Amino acid sequence: MTLIMSLLSRPKVEAPIEFGNAESFWVEYPSGLVDLSRSHHLSASGEPSPPPLASPQFELEVDGDRTLRIDPAKTAFVIVDMQNFFLHPDMRQHPTGLACVDPLLSAVPALRSRGVQILWVNWGLTEHELTTIPPSLKRGFSKGGRGGFGSELPNGWGRLLMRGAANSALYGPLQDEYVKGEKQGTDVWIHKNRMSGIWGYQTALDLYLEQHGITTLFFAGVNADQCVLGTIVDAYYRGYDVIAVRDGIATTSPEGGLENVLYNTGNAYGFITDSKRIASSV
C-alpha cells in the first residue's frame, strides 16, 4: 500500500447516525457497518444495532474498516471503457489496464449472481454526435491535428470509437462476459459521448439509472483519472453511492494518477473495495 493510500482513515462513529434526507439516506453504526440500502431509518431511540440483514441484501467489506449493507435491486456495476481501443496491444500498450481483466472476470459474475445489474459504459459515437463534440475533446483525441473521432483505423479496426466498430468492442474475454450477461438479461451496454458517462441529464446512463431506481454504483475501468473519474465525480454530485473496485481500475498516466482517484474516492466520494472481497461476499 502506498503512503497516500495509508492515509485513508476515518474514525468510527460513537453512536448510530443517519446521513441524508427522508428519501435518500445512509445509516452508520459504531460497529463500522454503513447501511446503504435505504430500507430502515434510524429510530428515534437510536437503536445501537442495525436491523437483521434482509434477503436479498448483502454485506461487503471495504477499506477503512467498514462494511457496507447493499440492496442489489438498487445497485449497478458501472464498467467504463474496457474497449479494444484502450486495451488491445495492437492499439496501445496498457499493461495495468490489461491487469484489470482477470479481477473483473471475478467481480462481474459475483455481483451478477447477487442480482446487481452490470452496465458496460463505453464510447460509441453516432454520425450526429460527431457534429456536437466540443473542440477540446476533439483536439485531445487527435494527433498533430490528424485522426480523431470517426477517423478510419488501420488493420480492420474500423472508425475510431464509432458504434459497432471493432475498436469500440470490449476487449477479448470481457466481450464474451458481456454477451453471456446480455443473454441472461443482467448486462446492458450503454453508449457515452463524453469522458463522463453521466455528464448531463438525459444521457443514456442517467436515464437508465433513474428509470431502474439505482442508487448505489460500483465502478471499474480505464482510464482512472479520466473517464472513470469523470463518471465517479458526476455520480457523486448527483447523489449516487460510489464504490470503487481498486484492482479493476487503471490508467496510463504517471504515478499518482490512480492513487489520487482512489484517495479522493475513499475520503470523499465513497468507498473502496476489490474483486477478492466482492467474490468472498457471495
pLDDT tens figures, 192-220:
999 999 998 889 999 999 999 999 999 99
- pLDDT above 70 (res 70): yes
Q: What are the tens digits of pLDDT across the range 125-142?
A: 999 999 999 999 999 999
- pLDDT above 60 (res 124): yes
Question: What was the pLDDT predicted at 5?
Answer: 52
Question: What was the pLDDT predicted at 13?
Answer: 94
Q: Which domain holds residue 106?
A: 74-124+163-270
CA distance 43 to 137: 49
Question: What was the pLDDT predicted at 6?
Answer: 52
CA distance 54 to 28: 17
CA distance 74 to 214: 4
Nearest CA among 114, 124, 140, 102 for reference residue 220: 102
Question: Mean pLDDT of all residues in the chain?
Answer: 94
In a domain, 248, yes or no: yes
Confidence of residue 37 (pLDDT cuts 50, 70, 90): very high
Please give the distance of CA 106 from its chain centroid, rounded to a whole number. 15
Query: What is the pTM assigned to this prediction?
Result: 0.95
Question: What was the pLDDT predicted at 200?
Answer: 84
In a domain, 218, yes or no: yes
Q: Average pLDDT of 174-203?
A: 96
- Kindly report the CATH number assigned to the domain that includes residue 221: 3.40.50.850
In a domain, 42, yes or no: no
Confidence of residue 157 (pLDDT cuts 50, 70, 90): very high
Q: What are the tens digits of pLDDT across the range 227-269?
A: 999 999 999 999 999 999 999 999 999 999 999 999 999 999 9
User: Position 2: which residue type?
Assistant: T
Please count the structural domains in the chain.
1
Question: Backbone dihedral region of 246: left (phi > 0), alpha (psi from -120 to 50 degrees) or beta?
Answer: alpha
In a domain, 215, yes or no: yes
Question: What was the pLDDT predicted at 98?
Answer: 98
In a domain, 54, yes or no: no
Q: What are the tens digits of pLDDT across the range 72-109?
A: 999 999 999 999 999 999 999 999 999 999 999 999 99
In a domain, 195, yes or no: yes
3-class secondary-structure state, position 40: coil
In a domain, 41, yes or no: no
